[in-house]
Structure 1
Amino acid sequence: MAMGAAALLLGLFLGFHGARRNLPMALAITAVFAIVGRIARGVSASGMLAGAVIAFILAGRDVRAFVVLLIVFLLTLAATRLGRSRKQQLHVAEPESGRSASQVMANLSIAGLVLALPDFHAGYLLALAALAEAASDTASSEIGSVFRGKTVLITNWKEVTPGTDGGISVSGTLAATLAALAVAATSRILGLASTSQAAMIAGAGVFGMLVDSVIGAAFERRGYLNNDLVNLLGTASAVGLAALIA
């Protein structure tokens, strides 16, 4: 299903933007990115293919958007690698092979969809908000499970084991905020957003992370939703907030 969604996004992008002159360069950038991501074990083989589609769409629209994606990848890779032994003890470590296609699409498909469509008002800002949420949510879960400290369920504030769906901590929330700010700052430096828009991007990213935690506590923890769908809904909430503000 994830690869089918990736193929659909690629078809949409080529249908609307296939005449762009920068596509050969975008393809070259994507190839290097995909290979490096796989060698670094940031993604599995299927995750590499799905990520390549998103990277191609972003690079094809504006190479600066790809740079933001690269920052997200580096942030999430570093957060995932940090404290791996403790995460293994808690049984929350990502597989050695890297994130799968379904995980990649859950976090990045909305950003790809927004930029695969024809230009519309605030399109880039919505995509950047989606990327900020992806970085924020990953940093929250990966960093929060490493540092020892109190973790509470976001819905009732009862203490839970680090790594529990819907659990939040001071360290995880701080990491999430810094990750969203890093994406927003990169967007501002590259000229993709004004200062006020960058603040909106960061705020939407953190908001989406919190929504992800609420949904995780209410539904994923009880087995009603899987993690990929929760991540997708969290990203959608960030984009929704950005759309209301933009």
Structure 2
Amino acid sequence: MNHIDLLIKAIICIVFAVVVYKYRVLDIGGALFATFIGAIILFLQGMGWFLLLLIFLIVGTIATEYKVNFKKKRLQEKARRKTMNVIANGIVPTIVAIFSIKSNLSFLYASAIAVALADTMASELGVLSDKAYFITNFRKAPPGTNGAISLYGEAWALIGSSLIALLSIPLLHLKPLYAIGVIIIGMLGCQIDSVLGATFQGKGKGNIISSDALLTNNDVNLISISISVLIAYIIIAV
């Protein structure tokens, strides 16, 4: 890596930090940690890996900001994402990027991003649905309730997972067969997230922690992504 390449990547990281904070994509802590994660991935694995992470952030932000006032009323929470949310969604892809220095783990990386985006799309857009059901027993639930799913949300989860899978082909040089696997892992991870939410997050909505919650929304995100990547690893190991 020459000095010019280092300078260009450093500038990209600085611009990234300024933009995500200036346009209120993340709070100051989230912006700094996202920049840290982005820098690790950019310097270790290159522009393709970084762009896939950036696409997740852009699309996820669009989904979060869509009809934001309506969602604030329904969920009674702020839309701006904070440090812990960045950690929950970004720590696993970062670890994969580090371990991928010696082995090509692009399938695991794409799978982690796919789960994160599928869940973001399902939760941020699924809450707009009029009908939702608990994933554990399929009883009706108020939209936005932890562990509740909807056809609308599932459709958006599939779109998010498919987007990451499709872009992984040119950006990560992933084979089409593995891209299909990314879609499957992305959707599976989204369902794991919902099951964990229904089981351990209590009766609250979104990031609101209820008195009976054993896990927070960020905990559930981190665990679901971790489990999904483990499943993806088992697939390629077999």
TM-score by length of 1: 0.86
1:189 aligns with 2:170: yes
Shift of 1:94: 3.5
1:160 aligns with 2:141: yes
Q: What is residue 241 of structure 1 aligned with on the other side?
A: 231
- Write the letter of the residue equivalent to 2:185: A
Is the Cα contact below 8 Å between 2:114 and 2:164 reproduced in 1?
yes
Q: What is residue 10 of structure 1 aligned with on the other side?
A: none
Runs of 4+ in 1 over 3 A off after TM superposition: 19-24, 92-95
Q: How many residues align?
A: 225
- 2: CA distance, partners of 1:213 / 1:92: 20
Q: What is residue 32 of structure 1 aligned with on the other side?
A: 15
Shift of 1:42: 1.2
Q: Deviations over 1:105-129 (max 9, x none)?
A: 1011100111123524442221111
Percent identity, please: 28
Q: What is residue 206 of structure 1 aligned with on the other side?
A: 187
| Distance verdict in 2 for CA 1:118–1:208, change over 3 Å | closer
1:72 aligns with 2:53: no
Listed as ranges, the matches of 1:1-246 within 5 Å are: 22-60=5-43, 61-95=45-79, 98-117=80-99, 119-148=101-130, 150-221=131-202, 222-246=212-236
Alpha-carbon RMSD: 1.6
| Distance verdict in 2 for CA 1:120–1:223, change over 3 Å | same
| Distance verdict in 2 for CA 1:75–1:224, change over 3 Å | same
- 2: CA distance, partners of 1:23 / 1:240: 33
Q: Name whichever of 165-174 and 29-38 sits farther off.
A: 29-38
Partner-residue secondary structure (3-state), 1:50: helix
Q: Deviations over 1:12-70 (max 9, x none)?
A: xxxxxxx7864433222111112111122111100001100111122111110111111
Gaps of 5+ in 2: 203-211
| Distance verdict in 2 for CA 1:204–1:155, change over 3 Å | same
| Distance verdict in 2 for CA 1:191–1:106, change over 3 Å | closer
- 1: CA distance, partners of 2:97 / 2:49: 10
| Distance verdict in 2 for CA 1:92–1:233, change over 3 Å | farther
- Write the letter of the residue equivalent to 2:41: L
Partner-residue secondary structure (3-state), 1:89: helix
Gaps of 5+ in 1: 1-18
- 2: CA distance, partners of 1:110 / 1:48: 17
Shift of 1:175: 0.3
